[in-house]
Structures are given as structure tokens and as C-alpha cells.
């Protein structure tokens, strides 16, 4: 599709805010994906382009975690392999669904994801470790099924992974955080490749928006505080509500 300066004026500031929110409290994907659709980008191109801008930020975060020794390299490669398989399936399913059906699904998925992102981290607790074999089996299954979700839609993936890896695979918080970054990077890149092959990635917009997202993330990291979530929750809820209203209006117009 042809882009105008309006697309950049709408998407880039919102993706900047998404990065800021993500650095403080997580859940930036709940803002970044709607940003593209607010600008009038069709659903599949919005998801594909969001994967590009998201992958940029996730790459930086994963490298940082790796250099700081926060990634368990005995577990992470296996999780990445299963995440690759899951996300490729999810992305292919996503491409089969029409814009209209996808918008209807969003009305149900978005509130559910938002609830878990806003509340999920309060449920994350460390538990007694399983054996390596049991942890490996459970973690690769989690990587596979969450990978399907991330390839299909995406927002909230990091929170879901952290919650599931600590609760069900009994990973330590350190290992869960590092493994989450590796899985999330894998699912972003894999689904990005599939969306790119199918011509649903707007490269120029994704790259520039990704740079804004990284800038927002850096600013958010500087302003991080224990009370940060109190600042970000109203922003996130406002964007989600406006986005849902927009979808409802568009669906009504389609029926008319």
C-alpha cells in the first residue's frame, strides 16, 4: 500500500509510547499493534509490520540478556526450535483469516490478553525446580504453543511465557526471563519471515517505527520506578478501549 506522512505521524508516536510502557511494566505490544491499525493499515500488514518493529527491540533485549549471562543455553536452543515451529504454524493460520473475521476475533482476544498482561506478573512466583529433563519437556511444549499464539497475533507473549515457564515448568525467574527473550525473538523473526514472504510487511514504516519503539524503551528504562505501572496502566487501557471502539465502528459499517 502507498504510505503518506499521516501513517508515520500516527504509528511512530504510539510505538514510542509502546516502547516506553514496555520498559516500565511490559505489555507494549497491546499498544504497538493497534497503532498500525489506527493508521488504517490492513490487519495482516499491521501484524507483519509490527513483527518487524518488535523484532528490533527484542533483538537488543536478547543480546543484552545474553551478554549479562541471563540465558540458560542448555534450555534455550531447544525452546527456540519448538518456538520456530509453533510461530510458523501460527503465522500461516493468521494469513488464512480475512480482515473482517480477524477484527471480530480481536474483540474477544484483546480484553483477555490485556487482563493477563495487567495482572499476570502479580501471579509470577518461583517454585521448587523440577529435574532438567522434566523442565525441558514442559518448556519446549510451552514454547511451541505460545509460539503459535505469537505467530498468529502476538501481544502479551512475553508475559504469558514468563508466567507459564515459572508456574508450570518451575524455572527460576532468572532462567525464565532469559528463555522468554530467546523464545520471543525466535517467534518474532520466524513469523516476520513468513509475513515478509507473503508481502504483508511494510519495511520503511516498520524500521522507522522500530527505531521509535527502541527510543521509547530507552526512555522508559530511565524513568523506571516501582510505581511505574501506575503510570502505564491508564495509557494502555485508554489505547485498548479506543482501539476496540474503532473496530466496533468498522464492523458496523461493514454490516451496513
91-139 per-position pLDDT tens digit: 999 999 999 999 999 988 888 888 877 775 656 677 888 999 999 999 9
- Phi first, then psi: what are they for 198, rounded to 5°? -90, 10
pLDDT at site 156: 86
pLDDT at site 224: 56
Q: Rounded distance, CA 75 to CA 58, Å?
A: 19
Cell reading at 236: 494502555
35-75 per-position pLDDT tens digit: 999 999 999 999 999 999 999 988 888 888 898 888 999 99
CA atoms within 13 A on the CB side of 71: 21
132-166 per-position pLDDT tens digit: 999 999 999 999 999 999 999 988 898 889 889 99
Checking if the pLDDT of 25 tops 70, the result is no
Which helix (H) or strand (E) element contains residue 14?
helix 5-24
pTM for this predicted structure: 0.89
Q: Rounded distance, CA 221 to CA 230, Å?
A: 15
Amino acid at each position: 500500500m502507498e504510505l503518506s506522512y499521516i501513517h508515520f505521524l500516527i504509528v511512530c508516536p504510539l510505538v514510542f509510547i509502546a516502547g516506553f510502557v514496555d520498559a516500565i511494566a511490559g505489555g507494549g505490544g497491546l499498544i504497538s499493534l493497534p497503532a498500525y491499525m489506527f493508521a488504517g493499515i490492513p490487519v495482516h500488514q499491521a501484524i507483519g509490520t509490527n513483527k518487524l518493529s518488535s523484532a528490533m527491540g527484542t533483538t537488543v533485549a536478547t543480546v543484552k540478556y545474553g551478554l549479562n549471562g541471563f540465558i540458560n543455553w542448555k534450555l534455550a536452543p531447544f525452546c527456540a526450535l519448538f518456538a520456530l515451529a509453533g510461530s510458523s504454524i501460527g503465522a500461516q493460520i493468521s494469513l488464512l483469516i480475512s480482515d473482517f473475521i480477524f477484527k471480530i476475533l480481536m474483540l474477544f482476544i484483546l480484553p483477555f490478553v490485556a487482563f493477563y498482561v495487567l495482572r499476570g506478573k502479580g501471579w509470577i512466583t518461583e517454585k521448587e525446580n523440577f529435574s532438567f529433563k522434566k523442565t525441558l519437556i514442559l518448556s519446549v511444549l510451552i514454547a511451541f504453543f505460545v509460539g503459535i499464539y505469537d505467530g498468529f497475533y502476538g501481544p502479551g507473549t512475553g508475559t504469558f511465557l514468563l508466567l507459564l515457564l515459572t508456574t508450570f515448568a518451575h524455572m527460576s525467574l532468572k532462567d525464565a526471563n532469559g528463555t522468554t527473550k530467546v523464545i520471543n525473538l525466535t517467534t518474532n523473526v520466524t513469523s516476520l519471515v513468513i509475513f515478509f514472504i507473503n508481502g504483508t510487511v511494510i519495511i520503511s514504516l516498520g524500521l522507522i517505527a522500530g527505531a521509535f519503539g527502541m527510543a521509547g524503551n530507552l526512555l522508559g528504562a530511565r524513568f523506571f520506578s516501582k510505581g511505574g505501572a501506575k503510570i502505564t496502566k491508564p495509557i494502555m487501557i485508554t489505547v485498548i478501549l479506543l482501539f476496540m471502539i474503532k473496530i466496533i465502528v468498522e464492523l458496523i459499517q461493514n454490516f451496513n
